A and B are shown apart, each in its own frame.
Chain A
């Protein structure tokens, strides 16, 4: 499972509240990613990180911010949650074999009411 954990695994929150999702990895991977998965859209990249304090935007970054203060943790923050951010969120890491494969965490199901 590539040593990836996500917390919380499930969360229900109200519109307008801030939410932070955590991704933790134990194998010192440089690249980490946040995706959301919605029916009909597949997996869409929100933000990614290529090292401590090095992050960049993906295709659906509006309304989200990220931080990576240490190698093992990559945080995704919804500053003011909206109903359109109801989704399943997956964290992923890039493998270390020199290729571009990614391995996923178990996911967080977020519901914004």
Chain B
């Protein structure tokens, strides 16, 4: 089992729809979770962090965390073509003192 798993996609959504990106992780002791956005040919950019169970909203982005299910998600409301990118889930693993990344989900927003 991979430490952090994401569906590779691509996930295709129409413009204006809600995009839902999901991530599961293996370390039950993890406390810190991050979402990065990476455009083609660019470096990853931190867009959300979440540390407590529940929802955290920032503009059109909402991160959701369920530690009991070891599940973290990212919702993008009113999706725009400019949201088309690869989204990386990252989990800080306490046992190894390291940030572990999923392989990423490709999101395509069609106008």
Spell out A's residues near B (CB within 8 Å).
40-43, 45, 48, 58, 90, 99-107
Contact = CB atoms under 8 A, between A and B. Distances in A.
B98 A45 contact: yes
In which size bucket is the chain B interface?
10 to 19
B43 A43 contact: no
Given A43-B88, A58-B98, A90-B44, A99 B49 contact: yes
A64 B99 CA distance: 19
B32 A43 contact: no
B46 interface: yes
A37 B85 CA distance: 16
Contacts of A45: 98-99
Interface of B: 32, 34, 42-46, 49, 51, 88, 90, 92, 98-99, 101-104
Contacts, number: 40
Contact of A104 (B43, B49, B51): B43
Given A40-B103, A42-B104, A102-B90, 5 more contacts: A42-B103, A43-B88, A48-B98, A100-B34, A107-B43
A104 B44 contact: yes
A56 B90 CA distance: 20
Contacts of B46: 101-103
A41 B49 contact: no
B90 to A, nearest CB: 8
A62 to B, nearest CB: 17
